[in-house]
Amino acid sequence: MNEDITIQSLYNLNETIAAAIFEGCTFPWEVLPKIGDFIVALGNTLSEEEYEKKGDCIWIAKSAQVFKSAYINGPCIIGKEAQVRHCAFIRGNAIVGEGAVVGNSTELKNVILFNKVQVPHYNYVGDSILGYKAHMGAGSITSNVKSDKKPIVIKGADAPIETGLKKIGAFLGDEVEIGCGSVLNPGTIIGKQSNIYPLSSVRGFVQARSIYKKQGEIVKKLD
Protein backbone atom coordinates (compact mmCIF):
# COMPACT_ATOMS: atom_id res chain seq x y z
CA MET A 1 0.00 0.00 0.00
CA ASN A 2 1.24 3.50 -0.79
CA GLU A 3 0.88 4.56 2.85
CA ASP A 4 3.37 1.86 3.86
CA ILE A 5 6.11 3.29 1.66
CA THR A 6 5.89 6.87 2.87
CA ILE A 7 8.63 8.63 4.77
CA GLN A 8 6.40 8.70 7.83
CA SER A 9 5.96 4.92 7.80
CA LEU A 10 9.62 4.09 7.21
CA TYR A 11 11.63 6.51 9.33
CA ASN A 12 11.89 8.11 12.75
CA LEU A 13 13.00 11.59 11.76
CA ASN A 14 14.21 12.29 15.28
CA GLU A 15 17.16 10.01 14.46
CA THR A 16 18.82 12.10 11.77
CA ILE A 17 20.45 15.50 11.49
CA ALA A 18 18.75 15.73 8.09
CA ALA A 19 15.11 15.79 9.26
CA ALA A 20 14.45 19.12 7.53
CA ILE A 21 15.17 17.69 4.07
CA PHE A 22 12.09 15.48 4.33
CA GLU A 23 9.72 18.39 4.90
CA GLY A 24 7.19 18.71 2.10
CA CYS A 25 8.01 15.24 0.73
CA THR A 26 5.77 12.18 0.89
CA PHE A 27 7.99 9.43 -0.51
CA PRO A 28 11.71 8.94 0.21
CA TRP A 29 12.93 9.06 -3.39
CA GLU A 30 11.73 12.67 -3.60
CA VAL A 31 14.61 13.60 -1.30
CA LEU A 32 17.45 12.16 -3.41
CA PRO A 33 17.97 15.12 -5.80
CA LYS A 34 18.13 17.52 -2.85
CA ILE A 35 20.87 15.89 -0.78
CA GLY A 36 23.91 17.76 -2.10
CA ASP A 37 22.51 21.28 -1.74
CA PHE A 38 21.00 20.39 1.64
CA ILE A 39 24.39 19.28 2.99
CA VAL A 40 26.04 22.55 1.98
CA ALA A 41 23.28 24.62 3.60
CA LEU A 42 23.24 22.54 6.78
CA GLY A 43 27.01 22.28 7.04
CA ASN A 44 27.38 26.04 7.13
CA THR A 45 25.17 26.15 10.23
CA LEU A 46 27.02 23.49 12.24
CA SER A 47 28.81 24.43 15.44
CA GLU A 48 32.53 24.99 15.01
CA GLU A 49 32.97 23.62 18.52
CA GLU A 50 31.51 20.27 17.48
CA TYR A 51 32.39 20.01 13.78
CA GLU A 52 35.53 20.70 11.79
CA LYS A 53 35.31 21.77 8.17
CA LYS A 54 37.84 20.01 5.97
CA GLY A 55 38.34 20.64 2.28
CA ASP A 56 35.43 21.65 0.08
CA CYS A 57 32.08 21.21 1.85
CA ILE A 58 33.15 18.43 4.21
CA TRP A 59 32.13 18.65 7.85
CA ILE A 60 33.40 16.03 10.30
CA ALA A 61 32.32 15.87 13.92
CA LYS A 62 35.30 16.19 16.26
CA SER A 63 34.10 13.10 18.11
CA ALA A 64 33.99 11.01 14.91
CA GLN A 65 36.76 8.55 14.06
CA VAL A 66 37.99 8.71 10.47
CA PHE A 67 40.85 6.42 9.46
CA LYS A 68 43.67 7.93 7.41
CA SER A 69 43.09 5.52 4.52
CA ALA A 70 39.46 6.62 4.07
CA TYR A 71 38.62 8.91 1.15
CA ILE A 72 35.92 11.55 1.61
CA ASN A 73 34.64 13.82 -1.14
CA GLY A 74 32.17 16.59 -0.46
CA PRO A 75 29.51 17.60 0.08
CA CYS A 76 29.51 15.39 3.16
CA ILE A 77 28.68 15.46 6.86
CA ILE A 78 30.11 12.86 9.25
CA GLY A 79 28.11 12.86 12.48
CA LYS A 80 29.13 12.65 16.11
CA GLU A 81 30.73 9.40 17.28
CA ALA A 82 30.57 7.96 13.74
CA GLN A 83 33.32 5.71 12.38
CA VAL A 84 34.68 5.82 8.83
CA ARG A 85 37.05 2.88 8.66
CA HIS A 86 39.96 1.72 6.50
CA CYS A 87 39.62 2.32 2.76
CA ALA A 88 36.04 3.58 2.94
CA PHE A 89 35.16 5.59 -0.17
CA ILE A 90 32.65 8.41 0.23
CA ARG A 91 32.06 9.86 -3.22
CA GLY A 92 30.00 12.85 -2.11
CA ASN A 93 26.46 13.91 -1.24
CA ALA A 94 26.55 11.76 1.89
CA ILE A 95 25.23 12.26 5.41
CA VAL A 96 26.61 9.76 7.91
CA GLY A 97 24.54 9.78 11.09
CA GLU A 98 25.63 9.86 14.70
CA GLY A 99 27.20 6.60 15.83
CA ALA A 100 27.04 5.15 12.32
CA VAL A 101 29.72 2.85 10.92
CA VAL A 102 31.07 3.06 7.37
CA GLY A 103 33.42 0.14 7.11
CA ASN A 104 36.27 -1.39 5.21
CA SER A 105 35.99 -0.82 1.44
CA THR A 106 32.42 0.47 1.72
CA GLU A 107 31.38 3.00 -0.91
CA LEU A 108 28.73 5.70 -0.40
CA LYS A 109 27.20 8.05 -2.95
CA ASN A 110 24.18 10.34 -2.59
CA VAL A 111 22.90 8.81 0.63
CA ILE A 112 21.45 9.58 4.01
CA LEU A 113 22.44 7.20 6.79
CA PHE A 114 20.37 7.75 9.90
CA ASN A 115 21.93 7.47 13.35
CA LYS A 116 23.57 4.16 14.25
CA VAL A 117 23.36 2.71 10.73
CA GLN A 118 25.99 0.07 10.02
CA VAL A 119 27.45 -0.57 6.57
CA PRO A 120 30.63 -2.15 7.90
CA HIS A 121 32.10 -4.51 5.28
CA TYR A 122 32.37 -4.25 1.48
CA ASN A 123 29.02 -2.53 0.92
CA TYR A 124 27.92 -0.28 -1.92
CA VAL A 125 25.18 2.17 -0.97
CA GLY A 126 24.14 4.62 -3.66
CA ASP A 127 21.10 6.88 -4.07
CA SER A 128 19.61 5.37 -0.94
CA ILE A 129 18.28 6.21 2.52
CA LEU A 130 18.94 3.87 5.45
CA GLY A 131 16.85 4.30 8.59
CA TYR A 132 17.83 4.26 12.25
CA LYS A 133 19.93 1.21 13.22
CA ALA A 134 19.61 -0.35 9.76
CA HIS A 135 22.40 -2.86 9.13
CA MET A 136 23.76 -4.27 5.89
CA GLY A 137 25.70 -7.52 6.18
CA ALA A 138 29.09 -8.02 4.56
CA GLY A 139 29.04 -7.72 0.77
CA SER A 140 25.41 -6.63 0.50
CA ILE A 141 24.80 -3.82 -1.97
CA THR A 142 22.21 -1.49 -3.40
CA SER A 143 21.88 -1.63 -7.18
CA ASN A 144 20.87 1.85 -8.29
CA VAL A 145 20.62 1.71 -12.09
CA LYS A 146 18.48 -0.56 -14.25
CA SER A 147 20.27 -2.54 -16.95
CA ASP A 148 18.20 -0.78 -19.62
CA LYS A 149 18.99 2.63 -18.06
CA LYS A 150 15.30 3.59 -18.03
CA PRO A 151 13.68 5.64 -15.22
CA ILE A 152 12.86 3.56 -12.19
CA VAL A 153 9.28 2.62 -11.35
CA ILE A 154 8.48 1.87 -7.71
CA LYS A 155 6.55 -1.40 -7.52
CA GLY A 156 4.74 -3.21 -4.77
CA ALA A 157 2.56 -0.26 -3.80
CA ASP A 158 -1.14 0.18 -4.60
CA ALA A 159 -0.07 0.89 -8.17
CA PRO A 160 3.32 1.40 -9.84
CA ILE A 161 4.73 4.89 -9.25
CA GLU A 162 6.77 6.64 -11.93
CA THR A 163 9.70 8.44 -10.30
CA GLY A 164 11.33 10.02 -13.34
CA LEU A 165 14.72 9.15 -11.79
CA LYS A 166 17.24 6.87 -13.45
CA LYS A 167 19.23 6.31 -10.26
CA ILE A 168 17.51 4.97 -7.16
CA GLY A 169 19.01 2.43 -4.80
CA ALA A 170 17.06 1.21 -1.79
CA PHE A 171 15.11 2.62 1.12
CA LEU A 172 15.54 0.69 4.36
CA GLY A 173 13.21 1.46 7.24
CA ASP A 174 14.39 1.67 10.83
CA GLU A 175 16.08 -1.44 12.27
CA VAL A 176 16.15 -3.39 9.00
CA GLU A 177 18.67 -6.23 8.78
CA ILE A 178 20.13 -7.19 5.39
CA GLY A 179 21.87 -10.55 5.16
CA CYS A 180 25.38 -10.95 3.77
CA GLY A 181 25.80 -10.95 0.01
CA SER A 182 22.30 -9.68 -0.77
CA VAL A 183 21.45 -7.41 -3.70
CA LEU A 184 18.77 -4.78 -3.30
CA ASN A 185 17.55 -4.01 -6.82
CA PRO A 186 16.73 -0.45 -7.96
CA GLY A 187 13.77 1.02 -6.11
CA THR A 188 13.58 -1.63 -3.37
CA ILE A 189 11.75 -0.54 -0.22
CA ILE A 190 11.96 -2.54 3.01
CA GLY A 191 9.66 -1.73 5.91
CA LYS A 192 10.75 -1.26 9.51
CA GLN A 193 12.23 -4.15 11.50
CA SER A 194 12.32 -6.57 8.58
CA ASN A 195 15.04 -9.17 7.98
CA ILE A 196 16.43 -10.24 4.62
CA TYR A 197 18.08 -13.65 4.36
CA PRO A 198 21.69 -13.79 3.12
CA LEU A 199 22.32 -14.05 -0.63
CA SER A 200 18.87 -12.68 -1.48
CA SER A 201 17.97 -10.72 -4.61
CA VAL A 202 15.25 -8.33 -3.47
CA ARG A 203 12.98 -6.12 -5.55
CA GLY A 204 9.76 -4.26 -4.90
CA PHE A 205 8.34 -3.68 -1.43
CA VAL A 206 8.81 -5.82 1.67
CA GLN A 207 6.32 -5.03 4.41
CA ALA A 208 7.38 -4.01 7.91
CA ARG A 209 8.23 -6.75 10.40
CA SER A 210 8.71 -9.37 7.69
CA ILE A 211 11.27 -12.12 7.12
CA TYR A 212 12.30 -12.33 3.47
CA LYS A 213 13.55 -15.84 2.73
CA LYS A 214 13.38 -15.65 -1.06
CA GLN A 215 11.17 -14.18 -3.78
CA GLY A 216 7.65 -15.42 -3.08
CA GLU A 217 8.51 -16.69 0.39
CA ILE A 218 8.04 -13.85 2.85
CA VAL A 219 6.59 -14.38 6.32
CA LYS A 220 5.46 -11.93 8.98
CA LYS A 221 7.26 -11.83 12.31
CA LEU A 222 5.30 -13.01 15.32
CA ASP A 223 4.54 -10.29 17.87
Q: State the average pLDDT over residues 164-185.
A: 98
Nearest to 183 by CA among 133, 122, 97, 105: 122
Would you give the end-to-end CA distance of the chain in angstroms?
21
- Cα–Cα dist 213/199, whole Å: 10
Whether the predicted pLDDT of 196 surpasses 70:
yes
Q: Is the pLDDT of residue 134 over 90?
A: yes
Enumerate the β-bridge partners of residue 109.
126
| Annotated domain spans of the chain | 2-220
**Whether residue 55 has pLDDT greater than 90:** no
Bond prior to 75 in cis (omega within 30° of 0):
yes
Q: Band of the pLDDT at 9, cuts 50, 70, 90?
A: very high
Q: For residue 11, what pLDDT band results from cuts at 50, 70 and 90?
A: very high
Contact 119, 182 (CB under 8 A): no
CA distance 121 to 88: 9
Nearest to 70 by CA among 54, 60, 84: 84
Alpha carbon 42 to its chain's center = 18
- Mean residue pLDDT across the chain: 96
Tell which wins on pLDDT, 223 or 182: 182
pLDDT score at 175: 98
Residue 3 confidence class, pLDDT cut points 50, 70, 90: confident
Residue 90 vs residue 222, higher pLDDT: 90
Model confidence at 1: pLDDT above 60 = no
Q: 207 Cβ partners below 8 Å, 6+ apart?
A: 4, 191, 194, 218, 220
Domain 2-220: CATH superfamily is Hexapeptide repeat proteins (2.160.10.10)
**Residue 157 pLDDT exceeds 70:** no
Query: Which pLDDT score is estimated for 81?
Result: 98
| For the chain, the helix, strand and coil percentages under 3-state DSSP, each to the nearest 5 | 15, 35, 50
In this predicted model, what pLDDT tens digit does every residue of 72-97 receive, in sequence order? 999 999 999 999 999 999 999 999 99
Q: What confidence score (pLDDT) does residue 123 get?
A: 98
